[in-house]
Amino acid sequence: MAKTILVTGASSGIGRAIAIACAKKGLQVVLTGRNIERLEDTRALMERDEHIIIPADLTDNAQRQSLVDALPPLDGVVHCAGIGSRVLGKMLELEDVRHVMNVNFEAPVLLQAELLREKKIAKEASIVFIASAAATMPSVGNGIYSASKAAMIAYAKCLALELASRKIRVNCISPTMVWTDLALVGASEDQLHEAEKAYPMKRYGQPEDIAPMVVYLLSDEAAWVTGSNFELTGGAQTL
């Protein structure tokens, strides 16, 4: 029987690439995100037609609970939904902090807690958080975004210990710059094309560069991999 995987943020970017890659490996995917039309676009790109769409705003308590209630038992979860932010430290307001932390940290943590409470996670399942190399690679104006991803990594490492007795694995993937809509927050496309030349491989990542690592972590081949954070950087040492 095919494994069933929940992918959040599946309507675009890295989440879409992960959903497509999972389908190619024969996994059944539950796609969630806020925009049902874009989720349908993702499903149209996937192999086979058994994949499930459940739209939800994960920052909304009621919608998050409705998603959990509607889910089948899961063999894996990929927490990919998130937003970018680039605001200088002296310009930050309380709302800036709350908004980024709500989307990037609180929502996936609370979703994961509800999935566990409702016993939606199968024994020997795999949980993958898409974090960011920004957690350890500082850049100007990226403080709150970086902090949200650092918090995610710390949380995931603790969760890995809590779930180890059930052989449920928890890992993070931390890319540097990847060509998605988030990359364009605070910079133009021309600026990014110029900046990517400084990367050792002379380019930023593509969503399709991230998806294979996720597929590996979801697989039985990664049965002894937990509590880890994998930096996918294209050789870059800074953002």
Residues carrying an active site annotation:
145
- β-strands 169-175, 229-232 pairing: parallel
Q: Are 144 and 97 in contact (CB under 8 A)?
A: yes
Helical spans, DSSP H, in the chain: 13-24, 36-44, 61-70, 94-101, 107-117, 143-163, 189-195, 207-218
Distance (Å, whole) CA 81 – CA 100? 12
Q: Are 138 and 79 in contact (CB under 8 A)?
A: no
Q: Are 237 and 176 in contact (CB under 8 A)?
A: no
Q: Are 4 and 30 in contact (CB under 8 A)?
A: yes
